Amino acid sequence: MKKAEQPAHDRVIWLIAALKTFKGVLLLAAAIGLLKLVHRDVADFVVQCIKTLHVDPENRYVQTVLVKASLANARQLQALSIGSFFYAGLLLIEGTGLFLQQRWAKYFSVIITASFLPLEVWELMKKFSPAKTVVIAANMAIVLYLVVKLKQEHA
């Protein structure tokens, strides 16, 4: 497509691309952080973070994190890191393709985002959370918007 024929910049697509890229970068950082924890005492690291951030160590959420951190082993951390790297890669591919206004990126984003919706709904059914509800609604809106855009481009 020649430069003069390119479609106008779509702000919603740009916003979706920014969101996907931001999530990808955060997940990439988390994956690297998890790898660095493989040969460390995770519970000790969490305690150091709690002290640094001046968080109440008696808080029930902090206690939950501490319990889970004390149970984490190297194999679990490696598996979480690999999964995080993989998902970060998907998000960064989505974001980059959408920023570049590639048609394939819209299809890719619809497939990836829609494929995680059943898991998100399952998690919501296990334990309700307003935040989970907002995430599901946002992801459904993204899928719907991209499907409509793809249909408009096809027509």
Q: Alpha helix (H) ranges present in the chain?
A: 11-36, 42-53, 60-71, 74-99, 103-126, 130-154
Query: Is the pTM of the predicted complex or chain greater than 0.95?
Result: no
Among 101, 120, 139, the domain-final residue is 101
User: Residue 73: which domain range?
Assistant: 10-101
Question: Does one domain contain both 70 and 109?
Answer: no
* Model pLDDT for residues 102-138, shown as the tens digit of each residue: 999 999 999 999 999 999 999 999 999 999 999 999 9
**CA 110 – CA 28 distance, rounded (Å):** 21
Asked if residue 40 belongs to a domain, the reply is yes
Question: Does one domain contain both 89 and 112?
Answer: no
> Residue 95 corresponds to which tokens in the numbers above?
């974001």
Question: Does one domain contain both 16 and 26?
Answer: yes
Asked if residue 80 belongs to a domain, the reply is yes
Cα angle: 128, vertex 114, 93; to 5 degrees? 115
* Model pLDDT for residues 42-78, shown as the tens digit of each residue: 888 888 888 888 888 888 888 888 888 888 888 999 9
Q: What is the total count of domains within the chain?
A: 2
Question: Does one domain contain both 61 and 117?
Answer: no
Among 65, 84, 101, the domain-final residue is 101
